[in-house]
Amino acid sequence: MKREVILALVLAFVCLASPSFALSQQHRAPADQRWVGTWASSPQLGAAKDAPPAPGLTDSTLRQVVHVSLGGNRLRVRFSNAFGSSPLTITSTRIALSAGGSAVQPKTDKALQFHGQTSVTIPPGALMYSDPLDFDLPPLSDVAVTMRLSAAPGGITTHPGSREISYLLAGDHVSDEQLTGAVQVERW
């Protein structure tokens, strides 16, 4: 049986979508497909103490690693700007199986798209799903989602209680196998 999973990111802090979120008509899976959530976290408005350290989110690359429960053959990633007071632009995003730390397994590295485009601007208070992507996601694996951010919106959507390591590096490193010199942040 083919299983499709939804992964979702909370701006700069990863969150996999629950299956209860309704998709717009143009993103609804065909009747013979069923999307299920494989990981979830509660989006929260970031407090000043939760702000990302230098280099910050402007003109930076952010890599977040999550441990999924269910696997599947196709996935979507949900990005959230739920608490943003201005638009969030993600210029490119990639997903790969983690190789540990900030490294990814290069043979699994794939670009995500949004309506066929590599970049997306998410309005304040909104969610955005990536286009479906064929991806062999083993159950109980670690997956890395790497985003290139042009700027942080006013009001950052976070999950400060994650206690997982995210990696933040100035510049465009979305395709790098490892984020050498990245700042480690214990939250999403």
For residue range 70-98, list pLDDT tens digits in order.
889 999 999 888 888 889 899 999 999 99
Rounded Cα gap, residues 178 and 73, in angstroms: 25
The bridge status of strand 127-129 relative to strand 110-111 is: unpaired
Mean pLDDT value across residues 92-114: 97
At residue 44, the pLDDT reads: 61
pLDDT tens track for 111-167: 999 999 999 999 999 999 999 999 999 999 999 999 999 877 777 666 566 667 889
- The pTM (predicted TM-score) of the whole model is 0.79
Q: Is 107 helix (H, G, I), strand (E, B) or coil?
A: helix
What average pLDDT does this structure show over 3-13?
44
